[in-house]
Structure 1
Amino acid sequence: MEYISTRGNVKAKGFIDTVLMGLADDGGLMVPFQIPVISPEKLAEWRSLSFQELFLEIFSYYTNDEIPYDALKEMVYTSYSNFRAPEVTPLHKVNNSLYVLELFHGPTFAFKDVALQFMGELYSYIAKVRGEIIHILGATSGDTGAAAIQGVRGKEGIKICILHPHGKVSKVQELQMTTVDDSNVLNLSVEGNFDDCQKVIKELFADLDFKGKYHLRAINSINFVRILAQTVYYFYAYLQIEGSDEKKINISVPSGNFGNIFSGYLAKKMGLPVNKLIIATNENNILERFVNTGEYKPGSFTSTYSPSMDIQVASNFERYLYYLVGEDAEKLSAYMSKLQTEGKITIAGEALQQVQADFAALGVKNQQCLDTIGKYNEEYDYLLDPHTACGIAAYEQFNGAGETAITFATAHPAKFDESIALVGIKQEFPEQIAALFSLPQHQTVVEHDKDVIVRELQAFYE
């Protein structure tokens, strides 16, 4: 297995070099040269596997034997040893047509832990066996930062800097990042929104001299390993449902940066027989508009009750567009250039029909999000965080008669108590979260100015 750039101007790379590259040197995103297809017989064999065993099976198709099996196994089992559920991602049955896959049992109570605890172990392994200096740089709308920091804090040979939008993440998300006092962690709170943070990150990774000088590595979902790790729970959830091979299974996914839903698209291309992939967004509904009209055009930013999806520029959209245009790097590059110069791209005809065959999408309004939280708490005694509530609302919109749905619970509701309180629900915080409020914070508030951020990075990395 080799990896290539969506824009076609990077020499094919192996697995570890792809991990280290993050954003491709030509500005594109790395993808496998060929996606392996899992046979129905192999899928049937996987039904009895634990999450960790399934992880190892899936990764074996992608690692090119660059990592010895025993080393990979140790990384996987270490990564999930601190999850609060033995299944890692347990499946909860809500009613006869709905299951919720709980992705919030990791150390920071969010789905990002599933990929990022492993990535922390992987970067640590690479740093040791290659003698690499690793400086991780990322942006977060809330959950990625906490999970990434937790995955690498205190690890030798690694430093991490995370940019988050000042005052635009939940208080718990902020505390999970900024109460960490390890010397290898820097939190920059940027006066702006997530898209502003993400733009700076992409510009710095595109500056190959800066990237090389400071050994920058990506932790965001521009890194293919994030995508691949997330495919595991798509397979795991599907295989946990009894008789799933005889049912129409839909999966509804809260999505802002298109990474989580793209992992589902990858799983489907690998042979997972999912019926519908449903994109749930909020009032920052660029993805809903794209699926329904073919127009991909970032609009005005809106703050919502589901802040982790307050995103207008979805990083992983480029990966999907690459496959939509038939893996034609030249055509993909032309689209991305047009997006840069004109501020939008439009898909029509057969291509739009393919988009609508691949996805359904719903942009959930703020009040609908709160109403869904209240409804499921009252009717099923099941408390949803606001992002999961968007996923549930989308399930209600698109799940057909006789179909079964899995909605991803992407975060524990305690992470978004500001939204839960608006419904009149008083929740009890888990002990680990409650303890955060008494700890001092460590962060630097900076202007949304690339030069200012660069100076902070230089001081930290040097």
Structure 2
Amino acid sequence: MRYISTRGKVKPVGFIDAFMMGLGDDGGLLVPEQIPAVSQETLKEWQKLSYQELVLAIFDLYTNGEIPNKDLRELVLASYSTFRHDEVTPVRRIRDDLYLLELFHGPTFAFKDIALQLMGQLYAYVANKDGRSIHILGATSGDTGASAIEGVRGKKGIKICILHPNGKVSKVQELQMTTVQDDNVLNLSVNGNFDDCQGIIKELFGDLAFKSANQLAAVNSINIVRILAQTVYYFYAYFQAAKASGQWKPVHFSVPTGNFGDIFAGYLAKRMGLPVDKLILATNENNILERFIHEGVYMPGDFRATYSPSMDIQVASNFERYLYYVLDEDSEAIDKLMKAFKSEGEISISPESLAKVQSEFMAHGVFGKECLNTISDYQAKYGYLLDPHSACGVAAVDKHAADGGITISLATAHPAKFNEAIVLCGIQQNYPPEIEALFEKPQRQKLVDGKLEDVAKELVQFYNA
């Protein structure tokens, strides 16, 4: 398996080189040269596997044997050894037509742990094997930062800097990042929103001289390995729901998403052969992706702060990957479109392409009142407390999936991370001890203006100290 850029100007590379490249050197996103096809017979065999064994089976299709099997097994087992549930991502039946895929049993109580604990182990493996220094740079709307920091804190040969929008993440999200005292961690609190942080990251990775001089590596979902790791729980969830329902037929997945990474992982799983009917895209008031699926127009609007801050994103960094497949893997067309988007701020697709999108996706933008009402309703009817992002997912299910089929909705975070929304529903929750302890710890972060040169200056000083 080799990896190529959506913009077609990067020589095909192997798994580890793709992992270390992060963003394509031509500004595009790396994708597999061919998506491997998994037969129904193989799927039936995979249904018998533990989560960790399933990770190994899927990664075997993508790693080219670049990591010896023994080493990869040790990395996978270490990655999920800190999770609080034996199944890693258990599936909870809510009613006959709805299952919740719980993705919040990792060390930072969010779905980002699934991929980022593995990526942390992989970075440590490469740093040790090659004797190199690795300088991780990422932006977060709340959860990625904490998960990435947890994955590499204290690890030899690795430094990590995370940018987050000042005052625009939940208090628990902020504490999970900024109470870490390891010297290989730097938190930059940026005056601006997540799109500003993400824009800075892409500019710095696009500056190949700066990227090389500072040995930058990526943890955001621009990194294809993060996407590959997230495909695993789609397979695992399908297998668990099939066992519980006694049915082996296509299901819907409902995915709260702002950056299009998590739902793109589901799309990749479907392309590999997983029996997926529709992918339901759930978003909030920052609903650029909903408009694209309904109208075929991708155009950022005004940023809005919401009850689901991890989805407060206008420019979805993974959208380019999906567009590449919508346009039949035409890298030249993608290159032109993304350059036009940078200058004009809008992308429109043809009616034929839109029909293809709508055959694969449904979408629903869940605004504040509907989000809070969903939290209250599911607590009252089912005794299940949703965080506001997961609530957007099940609200989209209730909107779209009333066809008698089964939908698996992704529960992306523990509600304790977003108590600001929970208390507005008149619900009092108990914090897990790990989160409760955060409020007594000192914080360490640095406030910076949302200017590229200011961030670059901080990075050079940190990485070269």
TM tier, smaller? over 0.9
Q: Give me the whole-angstrom Cα distance separating, in 2, the residues matched to 1:367 and 1:402.
A: 27
SS at match of 2:276: coil
Per-residue Cα deviation, 1:56-98 (whole angstroms, up to 9, x for no partner): 0000000000000000000000000010000000000111111
2:35 counterpart residue number: 35
1:263 counterpart residue number: 265
The question of whether the paired residues in 2 share the 8 Å contact of 1:6 and 1:29 is answered with yes
Q: Give me the whole-angstrom Cα distance separating, in 2, the residues matched to 1:388 and 1:396.
A: 13
Per-residue Cα deviation, 1:214-259 (whole angstroms, up to 9, x for no partner): 0000000000000000000000000112256533411000000000
Per-residue Cα deviation, 1:271-318 (whole angstroms, up to 9, x for no partner): 001111000000000000000000000110000000000000000000
Q: Of residues 305, 308, 331 in structure 2, which corresponds to 1:306? A: 308
1:45 counterpart residue number: 45
2:147 counterpart residue number: 147
TM-score, scaled to structure 2: 0.99
**Unmatched segments (≥5 aa) in structure 2:** none
Return the offset for 1:133. Answer: 1.1
Q: Give me the whole-angstrom Cα distance separating, in 2, the residues matched to 1:49 and 1:246.
A: 17
The question of whether the paired residues in 1 share the 8 Å contact of 2:4 and 2:31 is answered with yes
**Structure 2: which amino acid aligns with 1:330?**
E
SS at match of 1:292: helix
**Structure 1: which amino acid aligns with 2:93?**
K
The question of whether the paired residues in 1 share the 8 Å contact of 2:249 and 2:275 is answered with no
1:85 counterpart residue number: 85
2:56 counterpart residue number: 56
Q: Give me the whole-angstrom Cα distance separating, in 2, the residues matched to 1:401 and 1:318.
A: 31
Paired residues for 1:37-436 under 5 Å = 37-241=37-241, 242=243, 246-436=248-438
Return the offset for 1:321. Answer: 0.4
SS at match of 1:276: strand
Change (3 A) 1:185 1:330: same
**Structure 2: which amino acid aligns with 1:92?**
R
**Unmatched segments (≥5 aa) in structure 1:** none
The question of whether the paired residues in 1 share the 8 Å contact of 2:3 and 2:32 is answered with yes
The question of whether the paired residues in 2 share the 8 Å contact of 1:247 and 1:403 is answered with no
The question of whether the paired residues in 1 share the 8 Å contact of 2:20 and 2:217 is answered with yes
Return the offset for 1:324. Answer: 0.7
Return the offset for 1:401. Answer: 2.5
The question of whether the paired residues in 1 share the 8 Å contact of 2:139 and 2:162 is answered with yes
Per-residue Cα deviation, 1:186-221 (whole angstroms, up to 9, x for no partner): 000000000000000000000000000000000000
**Structure 1: which amino acid aligns with 2:63?**
T
**Structure 2: which amino acid aligns with 1:340?**
K
The question of whether the paired residues in 2 share the 8 Å contact of 1:376 and 1:382 is answered with yes
Return the offset for 1:400. Answer: 2.8
Q: Give me the whole-angstrom Cα distance separating, in 2, the residues matched to 1:370 and 1:301.
A: 20
Q: Give me the whole-angstrom Cα distance separating, in 2, the residues matched to 1:25 and 1:204.
A: 11
Task: Give the percent of matched residue pairs that are identical in Structure 1 and Structure 2.
Answer: 63
The question of whether the paired residues in 1 share the 8 Å contact of 2:107 and 2:113 is answered with yes
The question of whether the paired residues in 2 share the 8 Å contact of 1:19 and 1:223 is answered with yes
1:18 counterpart residue number: 18
Q: Give me the whole-angstrom Cα distance separating, in 1, the residues matched to 2:129 and 2:360.
A: 40
**Structure 2: which amino acid aligns with 1:370?**
L
SS at match of 2:26: coil
Q: Give me the whole-angstrom Cα distance separating, in 1, the residues matched to 2:339 and 2:232.
A: 33
Return the offset for 1:338. Answer: 1.3
**Structure 2: which amino acid aligns with 1:113?**
D
The question of whether the paired residues in 1 share the 8 Å contact of 2:258 and 2:313 is answered with yes
Q: Give me the whole-angstrom Cα distance separating, in 2, the residues matched to 1:254 and 1:362.
A: 10
Return the offset for 1:358. Answer: 1.4
Per-residue Cα deviation, 1:102-137 (whole angstroms, up to 9, x for no partner): 000000000000000000000000111112210000
The question of whether the paired residues in 2 share the 8 Å contact of 1:247 and 1:404 is answered with no
**Structure 1: which amino acid aligns with 2:68?**
P
How many residue pairs match? The answer is 462
Per-residue Cα deviation, 1:125-180 (whole angstroms, up to 9, x for no partner): 01111122100000000000000000000000000000000000000000000000
Q: Give me the whole-angstrom Cα distance separating, in 1, the residues matched to 2:184 and 2:248.
A: 50
Per-residue Cα deviation, 1:10-29 (whole angstroms, up to 9, x for no partner): 11100000000000000000
**Structure 1: which amino acid aligns with 2:332?**
E
Return the offset for 1:402. Answer: 1.7
